[in-house]
């Protein structure tokens, strides 16, 4: 396992040398795209050999999970070191060696709620990219009211039998395992009968069906469980439930707050999609030169620009606040404002590109599908209405009806 220096300057030179030596140049030169993301997992096809090599090199010293403890496959870095590591990665144009729901969600859940043995069993498989996880939360009947999940796990002595269906499971058709919220006590109050269960996607009775969105194909699936047998413990005696039985809601809630902050980031004008790294102004320069002659369009554009800049200041301010002790439920504001702003941005882009913008694959590439996809921003990860509810009740402490 790794042994990086605690001295920040020393650490910087170590890690920059590591990246220079261990990340193949080809990857550094590759433009980032969906194809360039390394997801890992048994069924993953690397886009090139260098992608595999970089993942393995980084995993060998724990740098696929910089903050996780070394005993679980991480690099054990502190916050300052992680920042330096990210800076050096950006400087070298090195892509992230590995991304996954295991790293983003299951890992943090296990670190907070798992047993030492569970961590030892599952975390290294995540950090070295052997196992790819997907998230099984939402159900057709349980969206905003996630705690009403109906997928049930019946206690059959030494195993559970799981029945039900999940929806919006991203990459379920490519994942090896799923972490799912299942009802283990149907008589308890709804928040108190849910468990956070780990299920092998290869188990008999698990099937998936891709979901097509209004914007085209998607990474989302429906996942069905038909009498799926889940052993209560594995060969080593580890429970397939994270945290306490019937207390899975605590685990889920912990992760949801985390997810919300990630999604809100889209509103700060993050360089993605049709704008790429360009400012709105630079994009407008590529359009019909009379477009800003329309006072309506011009006024909407100016308003959007002001709000975008103010939003990115807010993101910065909240990030700093988070470091100093957290923002609590106010993170719902970032999610709400960020996603609503992004929807507005795309309405404006559609408006200023006029009849060119409405083509599926015209002059402005994927603008139209991107525009349609933004409509889900205020739905996924908790709807805008739910965010406003959280703000009114938890932050403003307004009375509930």
Partner 1 sequence: MVASLIPTEDEVMLRDAARGFLQESSPVTAFRANRDAGRTHDPALWKEMAQMGWTGVLLPEDAGGSEMGHRAAGILSEEMGEVLAASPFISTAVMAATALRGAANDRLAGIADGSSIYAIAVDEGPKHAPARTGMTAEKSGNAFKLSGRKVFVADGASANRVLVLARTGGSVGEAEGLTLFDIDADRAGLTRNAKHTVDERDHAQLDFDAVEATGDDVVGEVDGGMAALHTALNAGQAALSAELLGVSAGAFGMTTGYLKERKQFGRTIGSFQALQHRAAHLFAEIEITSSAIANAGRMMDEDAENADIAVSIAKARATQTAKLAVSEGVQMHGGIGMTDEFDMGFFMKRARVGAEWLGDYGYHAARVAAARGF
Ligand X SMILES: Cc1cc2nc3c(=O)[nH]c(=O)nc-3n(C[C@H](O)[C@H](O)[C@H](O)COP(=O)(O)OP(=O)(O)OC[C@H]3O[C@@H](n4cnc5c(N)ncnc54)[C@H](O)[C@@H]3O)c2cc1C
CA distance 392 to 386: 10
CA distance 136 to 147: 13
Q: How far is the CB of 151 from ligand X (least distance, A)?
A: 12
Q: Does 170 bind partner 1 (CB under 8 A)?
A: no
Question: Binding marks (x or -) toward partner 1, 334..373, rule CB under 8 A?
Answer: ---------x---x--xx-xxxxxxxxxx-----x--xx-
Q: Which listed option, ligand X, partner 1, none, makes contact with residue 350 (CB within 5 to 8 Å by class)? A: partner 1
Q: Which is nearer to partner 1, 148 or 312 (CB)?
A: 148
Dihedral of alpha carbons 186, 206, 180, 219, sign:
negative
Where are the alpha helices (H) located in 154-227, listed in sequence order? none
Residue 272 is encoded by which pair of tokens?
A: 């993605």
Q: Does 70 bind partner 1 (CB under 8 A)?
A: no
Q: Which listed option, ligand X, partner 1, none, makes contact with residue 307 (CB within 5 to 8 Å by class)? A: none
Place of tokens 């002659």: 293
Query: Nearest-CB residue to ligand X?
Result: 143
Residue 259 is among the residues annotated as catalytic for this protein: yes
Q: Among residues 259, 261, 340, 370, which one is catalytic?
A: 259
Q: Which listed option, partner 1, ligand X, none, makes contact with residue 170 (CB within 5 to 8 Å by class)? A: ligand X
Q: Which is nearer to ligand X, 325 or 399 (CB)?
A: 399
Q: Which listed option, partner 1, ligand X, none, makes contact with residue 362 (CB within 5 to 8 Å by class)? A: partner 1
Which of the residues 110 through 149 are near partner 1 (CB under 8 A)?
138, 141, 143-145, 148
Q: How far is the CB of 156 from partner 1 (least distance, A)?
A: 29
The C-alpha torsion from 150 through 154 and 159 to 161, rounded to 10°, is -60
Q: How far is the CB of 323 from ligand X (least distance, A)?
A: 27
Residues that bind ligand X (CB under 6 A): 135, 137-138, 143-144, 168, 170, 220, 376, 379-383, 385-386, 389
* Strand blocks (E) in 172-281: 177-183, 194-200, 206-213, 216-231, 241-242
Q: Which listed option, ligand X, partner 1, none, makes contact with residue 323 (CB within 5 to 8 Å by class)? A: none
Q: Do 370 and 274 contact (CB within 8 A), yes or no? A: yes
Out of 4, 39, 168, 196, which residue is the one contacting partner 1 (CB under 8 A)? 168
Q: Which of 156, 155, 205, 147 is nearest to 184 (CA)?
A: 155
Neighbours of 6 (CB within 10 A): 11
Q: How far is the CB of 272 from partner 1 (least distance, A)?
A: 19
Q: Which is nearer to partner 1, 111 or 379 (CB)?
A: 379
CA distance 151 to 256: 19
Q: Which is nearer to partner 1, 33 or 400 (CB)?
A: 400
User: Residue 290: exposed, middle, or buried by beta-carbon count in 10 A (0-12, 13-18, 19+)?
Assistant: exposed
Q: How far is the CB of 55 from partner 1 (least distance, A)?
A: 32
Q: How far is the CB of 34 from partner 1 (least distance, A)?
A: 19
Q: Does 395 bind partner 1 (CB under 8 A)?
A: no
Q: Which is nearer to ligand X, 118 or 138 (CB)?
A: 138
Q: Do 85 and 63 contact (CB within 8 A), yes or no? A: yes
Place of tokens 């170590």: 14
Q: Which is nearer to ligand X, 124 or 382 (CB)?
A: 382
CA distance 68 to 4: 14
**Angle 331-357/248-264 helices, nearest 10 degrees?**
50
Q: Which is nearer to ligand X, 351 or 383 (CB)?
A: 383
182 Rama sector, left if φ>0, alpha if ψ -120 to 50, beta otherwise: beta
Which of the residues 192 through 251 are near partner 1 (CB under 8 A)?
211-214, 216
Q: Do 356 and 362 contact (CB within 8 A), yes or no? A: yes
Q: Do 22 and 54 contact (CB within 8 A), yes or no? A: yes
> Residue numbers of the site for partner 1 (CB under 8 A)?
138, 141, 143-145, 148, 167-168, 211-214, 216, 287-288, 290-291, 294-297, 343, 347, 350-351, 353-362, 368, 371-372, 375-376, 378-380, 383-385, 388-389, 401
Active site amino acids: 259
């Amino acid at each position: 396992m790794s042994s990086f220096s605690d001295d920040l300057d020393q650490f910087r030179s170590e890690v920059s040398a590591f990246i220079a030596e261990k990340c193949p140049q080809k990857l550094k030169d590759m433009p980032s795209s969906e194809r360039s993301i390394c997801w890992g997992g048994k069924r993953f096809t690397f886009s090139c050999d260098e992608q595999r090599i970089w993942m393995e090199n980084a995993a060998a010293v724990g740098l696929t999970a910089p903050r996780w403890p070394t005993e679980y496959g991480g690099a054990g870095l502190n916050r300052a070191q992680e920042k330096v590591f990210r800076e050096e990665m950006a400087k070298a144009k090195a892509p992230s060696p590995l991304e996954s729901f295991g790293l983003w969600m299951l890992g943090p859940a296990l670190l907070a709620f798992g047993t030492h043995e569970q961590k030892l069993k599952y975390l290294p498989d995540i950090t070295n990219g052997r196992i790819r996880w997907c998230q099984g939360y939402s159900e057709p009947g349980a969206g905003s009211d996630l705690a009403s999940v109906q997928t049930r796990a019946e206690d059959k002595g030494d195993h559970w039998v799981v029945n039900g269906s999940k929806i919006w499971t991203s990459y379920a058709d490519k994942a090896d395992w799923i972490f799912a919220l299942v009802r283990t006590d149907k008589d308890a109050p709804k928040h108190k009968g849910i468990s956070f269960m780990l299920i092998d996607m290869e188990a008999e009775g698990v099937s998936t069906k891709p979901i097509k969105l209004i914007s085209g194909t998607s990474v989302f699936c429906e996942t069905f469980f038909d009498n799926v047998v889940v052993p209560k413990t594995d060969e080593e005696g580890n429970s397939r439930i994270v945290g306490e039985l019937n207390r899975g809601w605590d685990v889920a809630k912990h992760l949801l707050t985390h997810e919300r902050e990630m999604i809100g980031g889209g509103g700060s004008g993050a360089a993605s999609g049709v704008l790429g790294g360009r400012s709105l102004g630079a994009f407008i320069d590529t359009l019909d030169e009379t477009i800003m002659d329309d006072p309506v369009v011009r006024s909407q554009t100016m308003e959007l620009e002001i709000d975008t800049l103010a939003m990115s200041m807010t993101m910065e301010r909240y990030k700093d606040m988070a470091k100093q002790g957290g923002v609590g439920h106010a993170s719902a504001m970032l999610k709400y404002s960020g996603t609503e702003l992004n929807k507005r941005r795309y309405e404006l882009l559609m408006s200023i590109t006029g009849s060119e913008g409405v083509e599926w694959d015209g002059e402005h590439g994927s603008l139209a599908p991107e525009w349609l996809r933004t409509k889900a921003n205020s739905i996924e990860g908790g709807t805008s209405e739910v965010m406003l509810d959280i703000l009114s009740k938890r932050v403003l402490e307004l009375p509930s009806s």
